[in-house]
Structure 1
Amino acid sequence: MTRRRHSDKQRGIALLEVMIALVILGIGLLGAIGMQARAYAALSDAGQRAEATLACEKLVGTISTDAANVANYALAEGATPNATIGPWVRETTAAIPGAVISVVVTPQARRSQVDISIRWTRKAGAAEIRQQLTAYIGS
């Protein structure tokens, strides 16, 4: 049996192919990790938006059952909440860290317009996220 001798030019080519394959695999894994991190951040944002929506809807439900006292639910941004709206504000800020809340009540003919705004930032330097809801409460 005769053995084929590889020329000196062919030596190490298999090692080079393996190294190139490892580089390509590494780039692919880094891309997958980056996508995972972005998906997690998007999921976190979606969760906080859902919390804000539920909080707004809960306040609208509470105000609807107490429509005669709708003016007591007004809250300026950054103001200290009164006893009527205080529990809801504490619950909301516990669910959404750093939340800044405002509730504007505008009396109209046979109803009141209630504008609820919750804003927060997910992390320092990130864009502000704002959830707003407008409801009309009949008196």
Structure 2
Amino acid sequence: MQAGKPLRWITGKRREQLPACQRSNTVRLHQRGVSLLEVMIAVLVLSVGVLGAASLQLNAIRYSASADHATRATLIARDVLDRIRANPSALGSYAAASVTGACSPNLGGVNVAAQDMADFTQAVTCQLPSATASIVIAGGRVTVSISWSEARIMANAGDTTLVVSSVIR
């Protein structure tokens, strides 16, 4: 557009040369489809916002489930350590214990240590997904290790391991 020359509209006449009733129509002809474009942009912005909110919700659910598993594993480990502390005379009965497999009902035991191990086995296998656990006693130190799968929460996630150690006197 050259400076000083007025715009020519669709009719080829200057705006000032058109009757007043047609002046507003020429502006409307140039704005056809603008409101549709505005609506499409608004829908695009809204859809991006909704997708962002859905992503936040999905991540919140994932991290909540992961935190729940970690809390359960901590409670199970602390429970078995408290049971070992309460029964120090049978410390050897807890040594080298290993838990694997699917959830099975508590079969009980013939003594306190056997019952404690049956409860520990049931808690690990039934409350955590694909869990394994072990108890190692070296001197007076008891170490409880619990591992569980995070594959249901996040694709290609490895196992998570919790290790809790305590000195039994």
Q: Which has the higher strand share?
A: 1
Instruction: Give the TM-score, by structure 2 length.
Output: 0.71
Aligned to 1:120: 148
Q: Provide the C-alpha distance between the structure 2 equivalents of 1:50 and 1:113, rounded to a whole number of angstroms.
A: 23
* Structure 1 alignment gaps of length 5 or more: none
Give the total of aligned pairs: 132
Q: Provide the C-alpha distance between the structure 2 equivalents of 1:18 and 1:42, rounded to a whole number of angstroms.
A: 36
Which string of whole-angstrom CA distances, capped at 9 and with x for unpartnered residues, describes residues 31-67 of structure 1? 1101100010000000110000000110011001111
Aligned to 2:163: 132
Give the superposition deviation at 1:76. 3.5
Q: How does 1:1-139 map to 2 (within 5 A)?
A: 2=21, 4-5=24-25, 6-74=27-95, 75-76=97-98, 78=100, 83=109, 84=114, 85-107=117-139, 112-123=140-151, 125-138=156-169
Give the superposition deviation at 1:77. 6.0
**Larger radius of gyration, structure 1 or 2?**
2
Give the superposition deviation at 1:70. 1.1
Q: Secondary structure at the match of 1:98?
A: coil
Q: Secondary structure at the match of 1:38?
A: helix
The percent of aligned pairs where both chains have the same amino acid is 27
Aligned partners of 2:148 and 2:161 also within 8 Å: yes
Q: Provide the C-alpha distance between the structure 2 equivalents of 1:38 and 1:24, rounded to a whole number of angstroms.
A: 21
Match of 1:38, as an amino acid?
N
Give the superposition deviation at 1:127. 2.4
Give the superposition deviation at 1:89. 1.2
Which string of whole-angstrom CA distances, capped at 9 and with x for unpartnered residues, describes residues 82-117 of structure 1? 95212211122211121110110112xxxx111100
